[in-house]
Amino acid sequence: MLGHLMIVGKKCAADLGLKKGYRMVVNEGSDGGQSVYHVHLHVLGGRQMNWPPG
């Protein structure tokens, strides 16, 4: 299932024109920032991101 989410995330990034790069994030548990308790993937892009995230 996670592999399928990664493929769909890559397609979403392409559809959104995120050619310079993007980040895919899965939050797990309340300490991990999860607020919707089902499996979903965030595709983040469109600006330079820093490390550590947040």
Q: Which residues pair with 52 in a beta bridge?
A: none
* Residue 46, token pair as written in the block: 């469109």
Give the Cα separation of 54 and 49 in Å (integer): 9
- Catalytic residue among 4, 38, 40, 42, which? 40
Residue 42 is a catalytic residue:
no
Coil vs helix vs strand at 29: coil
Residues with a catalytic annotation lie at 40
